[in-house]
A = this chain, B = another copy of it.
Amino acid sequence: MADINFSHISPDPDSRASEGRSPAPRAGDLRWDIIELLFFAYRDFVGDADHELEVFGFGRAHHRVLHFVHRYPGLKVADLLDVLRITKQSLGRVLKQLLDEGYIVQKTGNNDRRQRLLFATAKGEALVAKLAGLQTDRINRALGNITPDGADTVRQFLRAMIDHDDPDKVLETILKPGAATAKDQA
């Protein structure tokens, strides 16, 4: 049945450069290789969590909320909106579910009692750790043949891929120069 051998679908002529044993790319060349690697890598990376989330009746949106609440305990709703870059209404639906089902709790702010500071419950911690575990396994596998210096290079690359203008507050802590994470700034 005319077994498709894909000889006819190899990348087309204008992807001619920046490839092979990575010769220095000429100006104007497009980074098709890295563009595609990012697509597939991210697809499979989030796929790990997606499968597990289905079991709980949650989606990617719930994961993002739970992740940042876990990582930055006491996050305000407004901060969460900044980080996720979605509207209050979109967040509302997802957050309500996580609250109702006991993955997250709210505490009234001490200084400003209008604020609802968000915290993950034990149940929430357990789920987010499980999801991070799956993703960590993938990352560890991927870093398997890479030296510690190489891992730093990967971090440096990812960090530099992020917009640095007008960072929200969470992003600020992540991007603070030099450190691998915000923790080191405290």
Contacts and interface: CB of A to CB of B under 8 A. Distances in A.
Interface stretch (A73-81, A87-95, A96-104): A73-81
Number of copies: 2
Contact of A181 (B15, B39, B75, B161): B15
B174 A140 contact: no
A142 B160 contact: yes
Interface of A: 1-2, 4, 6-12, 14-16, 19-22, 24-25, 29-45, 47, 64, 67, 70-76, 79, 85, 111-112, 125, 129, 132-133, 135-136, 138-146, 148, 150-163, 169-174, 179-186
A-side interface mostly:
helix
Given A6-B173, A15-B181, A30-B132, 5 more contacts: A9-B169, A11-B183, A12-B70, A34-B139, A150-B153
Contact of A146 (B10, B42, B85, B157): B157
A38 B150 contact: no
Contact of A160 (B14, B47, B144, B174): B144
